Amino acid sequence: MIEIVYRRRWSGSFLPAQAQLQRRFGQRNAAGLATHLAAGVFRSTSSPVVVLVLLLLPPARRHLPSTSSSVMAAPAPPAAAAAGPHSVFVYGTLMAEEVVRVLLGRAPPSSPALLPGHRRFSLRGRVYPAILPVPGHAVNGKVFKGLTDRELHVFDLFEDEEYVKKTVEVSLADTSEKSLAYAYIWANEGDPDLYGEWDYEEWRKVHLKDYLEMTREFMEEVGQF
């Protein structure tokens, strides 16, 4: 557990212990966490100096609001539209049906799939992986089919700005057919925290329980749909 102290200046700016948050959540998510927590405290006090003790969750915690606009009202998923259904290739924590059920309220139909020309990496200090285009490599995962616009938006919020959603071509393991699907690609190709290979089974054993709790809290923040 880490004690984090927040101080409010008269100018309205906040000075969090940013380095601790960055190590736990990454630079972008750390900034959002500081703003989110500070705003929640300062709504209920007029004191110019507030000390907030935050008992941090395990490193599985992630996807906290990353902009000041999310403090006032979390973006609600839009109503389902006729543009769907969508297919999404997943390769990390979203391969866990338990996590997807918390996010979507169901487990959409899925098929094992292979994404060629990409490599899956571990991320230093994180429990979730990243993928990037790397010739000569391939990533095993699965494709969720029949997602509504609303469900796709929930995935977008969950992956946040650390990932870029792109259309990729995957090979379906059960039919050997090729299919187009969305995939969330790591945005920072030169990230020094990328290393090695990410192990799904090891993640399930060590982190799934805490990750599910984080996912439930995430859905409480963005609002059930």
The answer to whether 7 touches 15, Cβ cutoff 8 Å, is yes
Give the tokens for residue 108.
């959409």
Residue 132: helix, strand or coil by DSSP? strand
d(CA 89, CA 181): 6
d(CA 185, CA 132): 6
For 198, half-sphere exposure in the C-beta direction (CA atoms, 13 angstrom radius) is 27
- First vs last Cα of the chain: how many Å apart? 33
Q: Any idea which residue has 């938006």 for tokens?
A: 153
Residues labelled as active-site residues: 159
